[in-house]
Structure 1
């Protein structure tokens, strides 16, 4: 019987990826990360936008075949108003998570509100497996006050979705997912358990962060992220990723879910398994099958 090498690990790390911010319209800057930046290791994520928005940017627009998820960080000023064709009018406040399950098709708009708004957050495109792409659309809102928080000296983890450390978010997503909005002080560390067959996407919003296999302390396999860098980690068998802040405090986001091993055809806001399906979604939208948003003030 062979003995595993000291540096063997069940975790596979992509290369770190960084993206410079680019302007979208006159009031929004975005750092955009796409699944093609990380091979297949970003699944179930298709896209992540890290944005700062100060004025109207996205008018009415459709989605289909995926979920569009909005995270507003706690340092947001003002709030975001959300209106959609399932007639859920939501006010998204700092620290909230808003989940738009597009399924077979939805139209929505999300705009900054308040005096001198500065919305700071993430927009996630979370893929749906083939058998859920035609699910009825819906929207869900988790208030900041209802987000479970894990706190200890030098550590604060907000469990926006999923379960961590015995804390479970009230969100009921279409497929299991873990979304953690975290903060570590210098020298602090934490471990994120990840099931077999899942991927973890890790993003250092500010500060420097290291990630390693918790079960292989001697491992040289891992990643060091500087501010605005992201890495994707594939998990061959159930394990845990240890995160540690270096050189100072770090704010990060960790998003983990089961890899969807199906073709991805993205046509703008539509995410399908084939070009024919994507073209059908476009045709359905143009034919008005996604519904209409009620007038609002």
Structure 2
């Protein structure tokens, strides 16, 4: 596995004072089509219970995955859903969404989840918004003989040494709930991979133009600049998608998100919740929101 770059998450706050860890790259887009990964992880309700009151978005897709706890989503389209542990949610904001995300009180388990931003190609940024979630479906899990398990969150996945065994996410390119396709921007595919102590897994992701690995627990062992290095939670590794992705856990195991996709390679102008291609488009987004064109949550 060839490492191209590495990032470390930084402590940040968003919403109404929610504490998060964030990795973002709105300039160099070294993990295009992905723009940002926010991780929310705490057993202290004061870190997250104020939540994310109503706010707008334009020009991005948000992909949310909950491992512990949950939140209630509301938007101007009329969607009201509780997203709980094991669920994923995909929202293609297009020309405009106003939504809120308020955590569900769960003092026994705390909250652990991720919100991932994907850029949208210019041709799609002003299309109608779309929404999907997996709250009524159960994800399938793929395991190998080396102590690895893989839960598909978006797209179709298989281990390199088990090409005959494929698991498809509920939100995937091949279909949603067997009925509706949910084509994520940049042909994105996301999986949650867990490795037992010293376990390993191999993934062939050469069909994608970009692959990144975000470690959220334990440690992954990889060779970087000729030296075998231990990468721990809160680090993102950008790897060469043309080479076999070899995941090896340290003696305390590892949990990680694997993010694949095809770079969009377009100019980005970012301001707060808006990601467009020109400064003029950003100013128009602000004007449209302030004039009420995004709608409101009832």
- Would the aligned equivalents of 1:27 and 1:55 in 2 still touch at CA under 8 Å? no
1:32-181 → structure 2 map (5 Å cutoff): 32-35=22-25, 39-52=28-41, 54-73=48-67, 76-77=68-69, 79-116=70-107, 118-143=110-135, 145-153=137-145, 154-165=147-158, 166-171=166-171, 172-175=182-185, 176-181=187-192
Alignment RMSD, CA only? 2.4
Instruction: Encode CA deviations 1:152-195: one digit per residue, 9 max, x unaligned.
Output: 34111110000111111121233321111111012211122223
* Structure 1 CA distance for aligned equivalents of residues 204 and 282 of structure 2: 35
Quote how far apart the aligned CAs of 1:44 are: 0.7
Match of 1:201 among 207, 212, 215: 212
Q: Is the 2:15–2:53 Cα contact (8 Å) retained in structure 1?
A: no
- Contact kept? 2:19, 2:48, Cα under 8 Å: no
| TM-score after normalising by structure 1 | 0.84
| TM-score normalised by L of structure 2 | 0.83
In the alignment, the residues of structure 2 paired with residue 260 and residue 224 of structure 1 have an alpha-carbon distance, to the nearest angstrom, of 31
Q: What 5-or-longer segments of structure 1 have no aligned partner?
A: 1-8, 214-218
Worse-matched range after superposition: 176-185 or 45-54: 45-54
Gaps of 5+ in 2: 42-46, 159-165, 172-181
Going from structure 1 to structure 2, the CA distance change for 1:114 and 1:12 (only over 3 Å counts) comes to: closer
Q: Show the counterpart of 1:226.
A: 232
1:293 is displaced (CA, Å) by 1.3
Tell me, yes or no, if the aligned pair for 1:54 and 1:118 is still in contact at 8 Å.
no
SS in 1 for 2:29: coil
Instruction: Indicate yes or no: 2:263 matched with 1:263.
Output: no
Distance, in Å, in 1 between the alignment partners of 2:248 and 2:112 is 24
Give, in whole Å, the separation in 2 of the partners of 1:17 and 1:29.
19
CA change 1:212–1:96 in 2 (3 A) is farther
Per-residue CA deviations over 1:85-118 (Å, capped at 9, x if unaligned) read 1111111011111111100110000101234372
